[in-house]
Amino acid sequence: MARERENPKPQQQQSPSSISYTVEELVAVNPYNPDILPDLENYVNEQVSSQTYSLNANLCLLRLYQFEPERMSTQIVSRILVKALMAMPAPDFSLCLFLIPERVQMEEPFKTLIVLSHYLETTRFRQFWDEAAKNRSVVEVVPGFEQAIQAYAIHVLSLTYQKVPRPVLAEAINVEGLSLDKFLEHQVTNCGWVLEKSQGRGQLVVLPRNEFNQPELKKSSADSIPLEHITRIFPVLG
Amino acid sequence: MAASYDYEDPSHYDTDSITHRPQQDQQPYDPTFVPDSVKTFVVHLYRHIREKNVYEIHQMYEGSFQKLSDRLFKDTPWPSVEAVAPYVDHDHVFCLLYKEMWFRHLYARLSPTPKQRIDSWDNYCSLFQVVLHGVVNMQLPNQWLWDMVDEFVYQFQSFCQYRAKMKNKSEQEIALLRQYDQAWNVYGVLNFLQALVEKSMISQILEQEKEGLEQFTATDGYDYNGGSNVLKVLGYFSMVGLLRVHCLLGDYHTGLKCLKPIDISQSGVYTSVIGSHITTIYHYGFANLMLRRYVEAIREFSKILLYIFKTKQYHQKSPQYEQILKKNEQMYALLAISLSLCPQVKLVTEDVNTQLREKYGDKMIKMQRYDDEAYALYDELFSYACPKFITPSAPVYEEPLVNYNQDAYRLQLKLFLYEVKQQQLLSGVRTFLKLYSTISIGKLASYMEVDEPTVRSILMTYKHKTHVVDGDGKVTSNADIDFYINDDTIHVVESKTTKRYGDYFMRQIIKLEEIISDMDRVKLD
């Protein structure tokens, strides 16, 4: 059977473990089977400890909870939601919420997680980090949380800025002082960042250019013709 | 050929009703009574099916069945399957097909009793099992096969709505629900659709077709080599069925995944039946809207609305006509929502845009404002145009019985309005960015009456909300305005509308070639 199988995507730097494949296969071959629920729950914990991520498997589990609400585990759901926050800018968090009953969403820790997601969705990073600090017990059970959110912040910054003032960056990734210097140094060596002096007001960070922060780079798709269309005139050209 | 059917002759009805059913309205429904016209109908339909005469089957299915329903069974069910079975050699599969139509007619014109809902489920189980075991050797019209899948999902949704209204259920009804707890069970429904997809090998067939190893789309799914199209085409339409069920459950990501094997940028078997075409695009567009892929939603809504605009006159007599018009209106509402969140009117063709302005012009202007009235409008349009969401789980009978049929809808609406709220400041920032090629953060902040950090947040939110990231990390822009920030200055890049010369030249080259070859032929003559 040539079914598509989604390989576990590494979040940060991890390697997929051996069990993961079998769970992914279960989801691919038999997505509507209540018997795989315990496997999927274990797989969530496995994703947490091994810093891997599989949206498909987690949605499959939420779907089973939706079908049989009495089997739902709030602890597992909250872990899925933290993982989904870490997948930002992908819309995974909303995808999960669509499947979780409203009365469950009104309880803790879900209320907090929804607030955190709201801050990230509206890029209010200061408020986000403050709120996250108040709720360490919820988010710190999942390793790699901070780095994942920082990666999201950098993603949004790179869409928006060619040159970002140091304090703006510091606030977004919640790193300051010497740690920030070290972080910048690392980015300069590995990611093509450049540091500049702004007119008398501290440092400017030049982010690598892409078609979103430099629209001139955008490939003019209006002028190109897909190959399939060209093939139509092949007989003429020949 | 059609003229040979008795029921085509109006005078026959008069005698029929006079001799057998003098007071048709008052007389109670007698399931064992088979009027001659129905006898003729089943006998012919049975024969055409055995002879694999798709054209005649289609005529009888689309035409005669509706006409007979209108004339004889306006508010009663058709004769029972047991009563017609003797006329069709008690053929097992034909009887299942007849019953499927029997229930469909009942759902459309009357309201099913709880027991009938359960019986209809049983019938689908038997029918699909026969198909899945590969013993069906028929060739049925795509329209009919589509209607089966469509009706299957509709009855599932209808059952969930019915079951969730627990408040006024009688004890007998509850006892029945508990006794037949497997009827319209969500696992059963999904697994049947999934089994049809898998067993038909439809995704592999579509994959092989791309390489020219197989024909499916080219023959509209029909098999001209003596085989049957039933499993293949049911499997194909089941992918659309899965998309729809997942949308009803709020699982948009999985829904779109189920549809993946079908390339909706082109026409295919799904466009061969208008109902399937509309259902596919409606749910595809809706799912994309919920995933914030507005450009994709706008593009597909615009395409199909243009198609309906141009072809709707041909469907006036179709039994689906009302349904077509309703979905048409709903998709205009969804298009209005998408364009309010992502104002890229240039993606919409002129005809559709004119219609849209007529229907929603005023509302769309108000929706840009993001005050309470604007929210009320988003709420109104969404509620009008969204799918009939369902709660798939059975009620907890031990607890006090409450209605929960609105729960799923309320959740989806709430989350959608939440998204609207998160985007509330974006339309303000759009208005300003359109006026400037460069503007400082400070100046924009004072215009918008907020502080500088807030403006930076709004600008980043704009970028985040207008840029979709795929599973594989590819970023797609839905942005109507391009800008970037350099330290404290915002640079706005005017997006020029470039004319697509390429397509124009391609068309002209092909046209010219046709003319030249025409002329060559004339010369030879």
Helix (H, G, I), strand (E, B) or coil at A220: coil
Q: Does A226 touch chain B (CB under 8 A)?
A: no
Residue with tokens 């749910």: B283
Residue A17 is part of a domain; what is its CATH number? 1.25.40.250
Q: Which domain holds residue A91?
A: 9-144
Residue at A30 is within a domain: yes
The two three-digit tokens of residue A78, written as one number: 């909250």
DSSP B170: -
A24 & A90 share domain: yes
Burial of B77 (0-12, 13-18, 19+ CB in 10 A): middle
pLDDT at B493: 82
Helix (H, G, I), strand (E, B) or coil at B496: coil
A140 & A200 share domain: no
Residues 286-325 of B with CB under 8 A from A: 290-292
Helix (H, G, I), strand (E, B) or coil at A205: strand
> Are the beta carbons of B56 and B101 closer than 8 angstroms?
no
A98 & A123 share domain: yes
Chain A hits for B187, CB-CB cut-off 8 Å, are: 32-34, 67
Chain A hits for B490, CB-CB cut-off 8 Å, are: none
- Length of chain A measured in residues: 238
Q: Does B482 touch chain A (CB under 8 A)?
A: yes
Residue at A80 is within a domain: yes
A92 & A119 share domain: yes
Chain A hits for B257, CB-CB cut-off 8 Å, are: 56
- Closest partner residue to A94 (CB to CB) among B187, B415, B485 is B415
Residues of chain B with pLDDT under 50: 1-26
A62 & A124 share domain: yes
pLDDT at A238: 61
The ranges assigned to domains in chain B are 1-8+34-111, 112-421, 425-525
Helix (H, G, I), strand (E, B) or coil at B492: strand
Residues of chain A with pLDDT under 50: 1-10, 12-18
User: What single-letter amino acid sits at B112?
Assistant: P
A21 & A130 share domain: yes
Residue at A32 is within a domain: yes
pLDDT at B497: 56
pLDDT at B314: 84
User: What single-letter amino acid sits at B262?
Assistant: I
Q: Does B442 touch chain A (CB under 8 A)?
A: no
Helices A166-173, A125-134: crossing angle, 10 deg rounding: 30
A42 & A124 share domain: yes
Contact B414 A214 (CB under 8 A): no
A181 & A73 share domain: no
Chain B hits for A161, CB-CB cut-off 8 Å, are: 484-486
Closest chain A C-alpha to B386 CA, distance in angstroms: 14
CA distances from B226 to A188, B84, B213 (A): 68, 28, 18
Contact A95 B291 (CB under 8 A): yes
**What number of other Cβ atoms are within 10 A of residue B119's Cβ?**
17
Nearest CA-CA partner of B440 in B481, B482, B480, B487? B487
pLDDT at B18: 38
* Closest chain B CA to residue A157: B460
Query: Which pTM value belongs to this model?
Result: 0.86
Contact A162 B486 (CB under 8 A): yes
* Closest chain A CA to residue B478: A212
In sequence order, the 6+-apart residues with CB closer than 8 A to the CB of B269 are B142, B216, B217, B220, B221, B233, B236
Cis peptide before B141 (omega within 30 of 0): no
Residue at A227 is within a domain: no
**Interface A:B, Cβ pairs < 8 A:** 156
- Closest partner residue to A156 (CB to CB) among B203, B464, B477 is B464
Chain A hits for B252, CB-CB cut-off 8 Å, are: 95, 98
The two three-digit tokens of residue A228, written as one number: 């399939």
Helix (H, G, I), strand (E, B) or coil at B453: helix
A202 & A93 share domain: no
Question: What ipTM was assigned to the predicted interfaces of this complex?
Answer: 0.85
CA angle B120, B121, B124 (to 5 degrees): 90
Chain centroid to CA A181: how far? 25
- Closest partner residue to A160 (CB to CB) among B292, B463, B487 is B463
Contact B477 A212 (CB under 8 A): yes
A189 & A116 share domain: no
Q: Which of A173, A212, A214 to mutate to test the interface with B (most CBs of B within 10 A)?
A: A212
CA angle A201, A203, A208 (to 5 degrees): 135
Q: Which of B242, B397, B485, B490 to mutate to test the interface with A (most CBs of A within 10 A)?
A: B485
A140 & A182 share domain: no
CA dihedral A62, A66, A68, A73 (to 10 degrees): 50
How many separate domains does chain A show? 2
The two three-digit tokens of residue A48, written as one number: 């947490």
pLDDT at A21: 57
pLDDT at B291: 92
A38 & A68 share domain: yes
First to last CA, chain B: 41
